[in-house]
Structure 1
């Protein structure tokens, strides 16, 4: 069931983005009376799952879900239709249109991607508002399990004050800034210290087993007592919170390890909080220092807020405010993604090791259906699609735009033969990038 939920979200998001991107090309092409021969969701290599011709255009769904396309008459694209290009130009063809019209047609796809992302962020701000944790309320620091951060000198209990010199005020803000972190200002026992990330920080992070950085410290919230547990007959329910062992107060789950290590093979008294009721129970500690109880690694925001662990800040926005908040979110996301691309092209950062393909995108979607998560992921994927299509690589929209700008500035149009060769080079570059990205996915799945 979890797989079906994830694959459904993945295909719905991908289909939505592809169709809207291609509509961004299709609509201006039609407005400028340019013939569109095909409009396809997914690729129809050898055959189609569905197709129907309406007017001059064949609308269809291919079987290979690696993208989609519109085939515009008189345009040198991935179809490499040399026979058509060998004929005299026709008034309805792309090549017969003024350069400014061709530029608008080519920019239509990425324009739709960016507008879609901005609109989603605006609607999400209005519909869901924003929920975050005020970092000032994190009194006992963060949980550190990542060896990269440990090697940098971070310890559980450290508080993060600033990243790259920018003060951190919200937990989600901190998590997004860590991707580009060069320096991290922490506070430990009232003393501030600056940690410097290694040059290949992103490379180490993407290839390591633990890709989590700073985690919130959580209470010991019982999820289930399995039948295999020595404590299966103890009266404990899902949602119970264990707060002490042998009268030693333990606020966070990570504090239990050392206490249980010293109680191996013994029976201990634990204090339990169930709603507002407090009571004690006796639990057996196994020889490996565990209760044998499943726990929730992430407590709910309501639980954390009610127990006073952290201050959960919830903001709601009116229609006018949502436009501004969504626009700011869109700007931050697009600037951040450009920055990440910049790191990826620098071999020294190792960021290229984190490049992923379709499996990486699939894994981003949650295993339970959440419209809020779905739209947030779709908005970011729309930005990714827009930015990547703007790269000046022949066969991408950015490559066509590059040649059109050259034509408009110089007054000279590149020859069809040159454009054919450029298209072939661009196609092979794209194939190499797709193989690299999906090869990374396979490598991580097999060897990690």
Structure 2
């Protein structure tokens, strides 16, 4: 429960900040051009009976804008006079146009008002990334420094890769780091026609088609490629099954229930198999039998293997902390001055956007549709503990996603309004009010369907249905 609340708090704080600044971008340009903003709300104040749905609101003196917070945390809105938006206020549109209304302003001003939110989110992301670079610098594990090489699945081996190959680069350039939030490492392989590796101390090249499916590379278990990390115990939790059995830091697991183990991926795969077995066990006796495992372990400094028996926890944990890249390799650490952090942050933010846009095309596939997630998936991106570096990194990432999603040409989103404004600027004709209303209805319907679909995916994943 505690980890859930920590994730929830981070998620709500990040989304509130992004929505506040996004809508603030719209309001800034609206007030800059003399357009009246009637309401500025974080979250939606959907009416419930006679209740207006407002958690609180206030209207400063000599200000036309009512500020407040609604109860439904699905976004926010900035109600602009003389504009057909999600409020669908047609009564206002029946009145004579007023000089302070959106509809009476030049098209270029209306365009800036509409892209104001997206612009703020994108600039905010670049600023956050810049401050991350300034505060923490950039730390990563260079792929070519991973001397134990990589672990490959059957699909990768069929193309010519072998376990322990050290990845050097492709015809597109050298590899930087194994993976980051936008999957550059996998994308580079997917688009490569040649991958250079170091095998037994000699450089070799592997030919690839250049158009591999990156999504399947990431979704397949085991992964297409991942760093070779031995199943070495980093530390043991006090009172855990592993501690009671005598396991210690530095021990290396070699097998579980007779199944060979080389890496933590192998170990996690085998516990995943046990989890499937547990799902069909109906009695406590059957469950206990499934959790009772036999491990062969090589103790630190020993040459012979030791057989260890233990009963895993109900959630199939041994009670050990796994070794990681940091257990075997020293990360590359780059520090930036205040001025240097801005180009570094902008470059990183642009790469994140480029990667996210590149991945967007996979949503048209069946696997891509299944990967769409709702609030649960987004919330799970935050760590189960409070970490300012991760919080700001995820906030910047979500800011980029929010900017990109809002600029999509879907009615009811900023991008839909931009399309209609561009049409007006090119043809010198405004779309009719009737058309705009029906477009808004269609856009809202599309967004509701997408929201239901995304959150349904979360529920199905939670139920282990997919």
Coarse TM-score class (shorter-chain normalised): 0.7 to 0.9
Matched, 1:11 2:12: yes
Q: CA deviation at 1:93?
A: 1.1
Q: Distance in 2 between matches of 1:360 and 1:212?
A: 23
How many pairs does the alignment contain? 416
Q: TM-score, normalised by structure 1?
A: 0.82
Q: Which runs of 5+ in 2 are unaligned?
A: 48-52, 255-261, 268-292, 312-316
1:241 matched residue in structure 2: 250
TM superposition shift of 1:91: 1.5
**Does 2:210 match 1:185?**
no
Q: Are the structure 2 counterparts of residues 73 and 364 from structure 1 closer, same or farther at C-alpha, using a change threshold of 3 Å?
A: same
Instruction: Give the distance between the partners of 1:214 and 1:282, measured in 2 at CA.
Output: 27
Structure-1 separation of matches of 2:336 and 2:266: 41
Superposition deviation, residue 211 in structure 1: 6.6
1:194 shift after superposition: 3.8
Match of 2:280 in 1: none
Rounded Cα–Cα distance in structure 2 between residues aligned with 1:283 and 1:213: 30
Shift of the 295–198 alpha-carbon distance from structure 1 to 2, 3 Å rule, reads farther
| 1:215 aligns to 2:215 (yes or no) | no
Kindly indicate whether residue 54 of structure 2 is the aligned counterpart of residue 53 of structure 1: no
SS at match of 2:251: strand
Structure 2 residue 176 is the aligned partner of structure 1 residue 169:
yes
1-side partners of 2:228 and 2:297: how far apart?
27
Alpha-carbon separation, structure 1, partners of 2:266 and 2:421? 64
Question: Deviation at 1:115?
Answer: 0.6
Give the Cα–Cα distance (whole angstroms) in 1 for the partners of residues 387 and 368 of structure 2: 30
Is the Cα contact below 8 Å between 1:393 and 1:426 reproduced in 2? yes
- Residues 225, 232 of structure 1: 8 Å contact kept: no
1:271 to 300, 311, 323: 300
Are 2:253 and 2:295, in contact at CA under 8 Å, matched by a contact in 1?
no
2:308 counterpart (285, 291, 295): 285
Give how far 1:69 is off: 0.5
Task: Identify if the C-alpha distance between structure 1 residues 423 and 198 changes in structure 2 by more than 3 Å, giving closer, same or farther.
Answer: same
Report 1:328-339 matches (<5 A). 328-339=347-358
Residue 441 of structure 2 corresponds to residue 424 of structure 1: yes
CA change 1:417–1:158 in 2 (3 A) is same
Find the aligned partners of 2:236 and 2:414 in 1 and give their Cα distance. 52
Against the structure 1 CA distance between its residues 203 and 233, is the aligned structure 2 distance closer, same or farther, given a 3 Å change threshold?
Answer: closer
SS at match of 2:169: strand
90-99 vs 175-184, which deviates more? 175-184
CA distance in 1, matches of 2:116, 2:138: 31
Task: Please say if residues 362 and 368 of structure 2, whose CA atoms lie closer than 8 Å, have aligned partners that are also in contact.
Answer: yes
Q: Deviations over 1:210-252 (max 9, x none)?
A: 6785135146134326647486274x66xx323799xxxxxx7
Query: Aligned in 2, Cα 1:265/1:133: closer, same or farther, shift over 3 Å?
Result: closer
Q: Secondary structure at the match of 2:408?
A: coil
What CA distance in whole angstroms lies between the structure 2 residues aligned with 1:59 and 1:155? Answer: 61
Cα distance in 1, alignment partners of residues 101 and 31 from structure 2? 11
Distance (whole Å) between structure 2 residues aligned to residue 255 and residue 43 of structure 1: 44
> Could you say which residue in structure 2 is the equivalent of 1:275?
none
Q: C-alpha deviations, 1:361-420, integer Å up to 9, x for none? A: 111111111111111111111111111111111111111111111112221111111111
Residue 169 of structure 1, CA deviation: 3.0
> In 2 relative to 1, CA 287–197 (structure 1 residues): closer, same or farther, beyond 3 Å?
farther
Q: 1:127 to 1:404 in 2, by over 3 A?
A: same
Aligned to 2:34, the other structure's residue is in SS state: coil
Which residue, 84, 87, 93 being the options, matches 1:85?
93
Q: How far apart, CA to CA, are the structure 1 residues paired with 2:86 and 2:266? A: 59
CA-CA distance at 1:287 after TM superposition: 9.1
**Does the 8 Å contact 2:234/2:323 carry over to 1?**
no
- How many Å apart are 1:161 and its aligned residue? 2.9
Give the unaligned 5+ runs of structure 1: 246-251, 258-263, 273-278
Q: Give the match's secondary structure for 1:214.
A: strand
Shift of residue 323 of structure 1?
A: 1.2
Query: Do 1:110 and 1:389's aligned partners in 2 also have CA atoms closer than 8 Å?
Result: yes
Whole-Å Cα distance in 2 between the matches of residues 267 and 216 of structure 1?
Answer: 20
Structure 1 pair 137–200 and aligned structure 2 pair: CA distance change class (3 A): closer
Aligned equivalents of 1:129, 1:365: Cα separation in 2:
20
1: distance between equivalents of 2:7 and 2:210?
34
Give TM-score scaled by structure 2 length. 0.79
Which residue of 166, 169, 191 maps to 1:159? 166
